[in-house]
Amino acid sequence: MMSYAEQIKKQAYQQGFWFVGIAKAQRLEEEAQRLETWLNQGYHGKMDYMANHFDKRLDPTLLVPSAKSVITLAYNYHNPEIPTDDDAPKIAQYAYGKDYHQVIRKKLKDLLAFIQETTGAVEGRCFVDSAPVMERQWAAKSGVGWTGKNTLLIHPKVGSYFFLAVIILDIALETDHPMKDYCGTCTRCIDACPTKAISPEGYLLDASKCISYLTIELKEAIPDEFKGNMENWMFGCDICQEVCPWNRFAQRHKEPDFEPHPELLEMNKSDWENLTEEVFQKIFKQSAVKRTKFSGLKRNIEFLKIKT
């Protein structure tokens, strides 16, 4: 008979998850020092929430009492389609379709219900980029991939275009092993980043310089120092993924909810520069882009018009 871990993984794959890894629920001691140093260096920029709930980020038992296992799951979102107008401002692939929080959260709840039916009385919680959980660190611990020099999780079979989600349970499951780092001597992501957000040695990101941070997280005016360095990205950025050799193995997703609005990739540069709130609401009705709001996206588009 299959173990509980094997049954859970089988069910997760049937729900469309690409990879599933399991780690023992315990405090992330090594990550604690790295997180503290990262915060002290101010690399989180204006993301004050990153400094909140420090202990909860590191100890899963503070989120689920008596937690024994952390399940990390990867869900593909890769869509190689690009705007028909080469001069049109760009959006990161992950935001093309319906907000991933909604799509993946439902799958997680269904999987948790399956686990409870299969294993009996079990307490657990689901997380998809919505709580103080260090998804990438847990994913690396459970062999879902390795943390690349661009700080994203990479899997040798598919690259890095996938979301991460976590389920914390109070039952012990068979655990998986970390994966070897296959970045080697490659520095393509470091060399390609136009704002120099990635440390020259890699594995460290100054988020306050990242285009994704500047176009999504930052609510204030984008600093003048980044004029002419945004590479035409108006929401998010995929540069470090586009140049990563491992993403030559990326495969297009099969999730209907991640398909872009029919008009999204057809809009040209002029359409975006003259964007109205009505069109914004229609194109991004259930999209993660709504996080930046109409005013935020307009700010980004206007900033892209300034070349120097």
Residues 43 and 127 in one domain: yes
Whether pLDDT at 221 is above 80: yes
Of 231, 151, 244, 145, which Cα lies nearest the Cα of 189?
A: 244
pLDDT in tens, 240-270: 999 999 999 999 999 999 999 999 999 999 9
Q: What is the DSSP letter of 261?
A: P
- What is the residue whose two structure tokens read 């009385």? 121
Q: Which amino acid is at 293?
A: K
pLDDT in tens, 147-167: 999 999 999 999 999 999 999
The pLDDT, as a whole number, for residue 307 is: 65
Query: Is residue 110 annotated as part of the catalytic site, yes or no?
Result: no
Among residues 117, 134, 169, the one where a domain terminates is 169
The pLDDT, as a whole number, for residue 1 is: 59
Beta bridge partners of 163: 75
Contact assessment for residue 44 and residue 169, using Cβ atoms and an 8 Å cutoff: no
Residues 31 and 142 in one domain: yes
Helix or strand or coil: residue 180? coil
User: Taking the alpha carbons of 215, 290, 263, 241 in that order, is the dihedral positive or negative?
Assistant: positive
Q: Which of 59, 85, 110, 129 is catalytic?
A: 129
Rounded to an integer, the average pLDDT of 166-185 is 97
> CA–CA distance from 25 to each of 121, 175, 230 (Å)?
18, 10, 39
As a 3-state breakdown, the chain gives helix, strand, coil percent values, each rounded to 5, of 40, 15, 45
Residue 276 lies in a domain: yes
Rounded to an integer, the average pLDDT of 14-39 is 96
Residues 50 and 157 in one domain: yes
Residues 145 and 206 in one domain: no
Residue 181 lies in a domain: no
pTM for this entry: 0.95
Q: Which domain holds residue 265?
A: 188-250+259-304
Residues 52 and 193 in one domain: no
| 80: its two tokens | 């190689």
| Total number of domains constituting the chain | 2
User: Taking the alpha carbons of 188, 190, 191, 197 in that order, is the dihedral positive or negative?
Assistant: positive
Contact assessment for residue 85 and residue 270, using Cβ atoms and an 8 Å cutoff: no
Whether pLDDT at 306 is above 80: no
State the pLDDT confidence band at 121, using cuts at 50, 70 and 90.
confident
